[in-house]
């Protein structure tokens, strides 16, 4: 996974696909698998928008979607007030997905800082915000839901961290909210639904772009090739991998984490 040039104020990220050489199904149940990256990639370009809207463009899937930033901010404020974030844990899928579904078509459950958001917490909200219904399971709907899960997770994490630093609860500052008024465009050189890691690469790219844009990870600093492409330090790659694995589980139902690992780190990966 690498960061391409950031010309014209945009952020450009790409991640490779993968091929599993051994243990494709067994790895889901904790057995050994061997996989490697391939020279087919998914590309994400991300710009901030100035009109208070969030845009997601997936031209290869026929998806063009727009949402209001204020709905994301409202959901993030509510999440941070009701579900403080714990360090080292990802956002809850169970919590965020229902909200993401609602927004994409808002008790205290701490989440750790470097882990992906809780599925239990974010998935219901993601469904609501994205406009995705629970019975919609096509590639397009799942891609939108994964995007919203990650978007909500980043907004929730950023909102909570800022509140903790200030030692008081307050609304998400507009300058932070503006960072998440994004125009994301994804292009696939990987065919979908053929086992080459298109969903893993998609989740890795979206997670990376949103984490960096929000300042939850720094800009990359490690040169990967003679063209000057960059990647991140191991601790930040590990955070990307965890968030991408959680998002990918929305697409596959149960993700071993192998795809996200290969798409994040590249090269050959052995999963025991």
* Residue where the block lists tokens 């091929």: 19
- Residue position matching structure tokens 């990802």: 90
3-state secondary structure of 89: coil
Query: Out of 14, 104, 249, 259, which one is annotated catalytic?
Result: 259
Return the closest-CA partner of residue 267 out of 3, 18, 12: 18
What is the C-alpha to C-alpha distance for residues 247 and 96, in angstroms, rounded to an integer? 11
Helix axes 69-82 and 139-166, enclosed angle (nearest 10): 60
Is 199 assigned a catalytic role? yes
* Cα–Cα separations (whole angstroms), residue 231 to 96, 139, 158: 29, 28, 22
Measure the CA dihedral 68/55/178/89, to 10°: 100
Catalytic pick among 199, 214, 249, 256: 199
* 104 is an active site residue: no
Sole residue written with tokens 């727009």: 66
- Residues identified as active-site: 199, 259
């Amino acid at each position: 996974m690498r960061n391409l040039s950031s010309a014209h104020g945009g952020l450009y990220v790409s991640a490779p696909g993968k091929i599993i050489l051994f243990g494709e199904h067994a790895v889901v149940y904790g057995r050994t698998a061997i996989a490697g990256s391939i020279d087919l990639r998914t590309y994400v370009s991300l710009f901030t928008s100035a009109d208070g809207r969030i845009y997601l463009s997936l031209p290869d899937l026929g998806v063009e979607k727009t949402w209001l930033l204020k709905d994301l901010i409202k959901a993030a404020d509510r999440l941070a007030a009701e579900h403080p974030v714990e360090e080292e844990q990802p956002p809850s899928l169970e919590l965020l997905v229902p909200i993401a579904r609602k927004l994409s078509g808002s008790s205290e459950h701490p989440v750790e800082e470097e882990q992906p958001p809780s599925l239990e917490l974010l998935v219901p909200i993601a469904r609501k915000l994205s406009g995705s219904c629970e019975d919609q399971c096509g590639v397009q709907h799942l891609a939108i839901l994964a995007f919203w899960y990650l978007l909500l997770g980043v907004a929730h994490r950023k909102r909570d961290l800022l509140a903790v630093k200030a030692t008081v609860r307050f609304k998400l500052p507009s300058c932070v909210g503006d960072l998440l008024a994004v125009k994301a465009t994804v292009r696939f050189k990987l065919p979908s639904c053929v086992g080459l890691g298109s969903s893993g690469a998609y989740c890795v790219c979206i997670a990376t772009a949103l984490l960096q844009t929000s300042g939850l990870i720094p800009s990359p600093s490690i040169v990967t090739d003679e063209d000057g492409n960059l990647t991140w330090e191991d601790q930040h790659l590990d955070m990307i991998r965890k968030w991408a694995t959680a998002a990918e589980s929305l697409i596959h139902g149960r993700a071993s984490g192998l795809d996200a690992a290969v798409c994040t780190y590249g090269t050959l990966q052995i999963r025991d």
